[in-house]
Amino acid sequence: MSSTSPKIPYKIYLEESEMPKAWYNIRHAMKNKPAPLLNPGTHQPMQAEELEPVFCKELIAQELDNDTEYFEIPQEIRDFYRMYRPSPLVRAYCLEEALDTPAHIYYKFEGNNTSGSHKLNSAIAQAYYAKKQGLKGVTTETGAGQWGTALSMACSYFGLDCKVYMVKVSYEQKPFRREVMRVYGADVTPSPSETTQIGRKILADHPGTTGSLGCAISEAVEAAVSTPGYRYVLGSVLNQVLLHQSVIGLETEAALAKYDIVPDIIIGCAGGGSNLGGLIAPFMRDKINGKLDARIIAVEPASCPSLTRGVYAYDFCDTGMVCPLAKMYTLGSGFIPSPNHAGGLRYHGMSSVLSQLYDDGLMEAVSVEQTSVFEAAERFARVEGILPAPESSHAIKVAIDEALKCKETGEEKNIVFGLTGTGYFDLVAYEKFHNGEMTDYVPSDADLQKSISQLPVID
Those residues with Cβ within 8 angstroms of residue 371's Cβ, 6 or more apart along the chain or in another chain: 433, 438, 439, 440
Q: What angle do CA 257, 263, 264 make, to 5 degrees?
A: 160
Q: How far is the CB of 425 from its own copies (least distance, A)?
A: 7
b/e map 24-51, b = 16+ CB within 10 Å: bbbbebbeeebbbbbebeeeeebeeebb
Between CA 124 and CA 323 the distance in angstroms is 23
Closer to its own copies by Cβ: residue 292 or 427? 427
Q: What are phi and psi of 386, to 5 degrees?
A: -95, 130
Q: How far is the CB of 442 from its own copies (least distance, A)?
A: 26
Closer to its own copies by Cβ: residue 1 or 94? 94
Q: How far is the CB of 180 from its own copies (least distance, A)?
A: 6
Closer to its own copies by Cβ: residue 13 or 70? 13
Q: How far is the CB of 430 from its own copies (least distance, A)?
A: 5
| Burial class of residue 17 in the structure, from the number of CB atoms within 10 Å of its CB (0-12 exposed, 13-18 middle, 19+ buried) | exposed
Between CA 107 and CA 188 the distance in angstroms is 32
Parallel/antiparallel/unpaired status of strands 11-12 and 70-72 = unpaired
**What's the chain's length in residues?**
459
Q: CA torsion, points 370, 371, 373, 375, in degrees to nearest 10? A: 170
Closer to its own copies by Cβ: residue 232 or 374? 374
Q: How far is the CB of 384 from its own copies (least distance, A)?
A: 7
Q: Which residues bind its own copies (CB under 8 A)?
A: 9-11, 13, 15-16, 82-84, 94, 112-114, 116, 153, 156-157, 175-176, 179-180, 182-185, 378, 381-387, 422, 424-425, 427, 430-431, 434
Closer to its own copies by Cβ: residue 116 or 190? 116
Q: How far is the CB of 150 from its own copies (least distance, A)?
A: 10
Q: Is there a contact between 366 and 43 (Cβ–Cβ < 8 Å)?
A: no
Closer to its own copies by Cβ: residue 45 or 175? 175
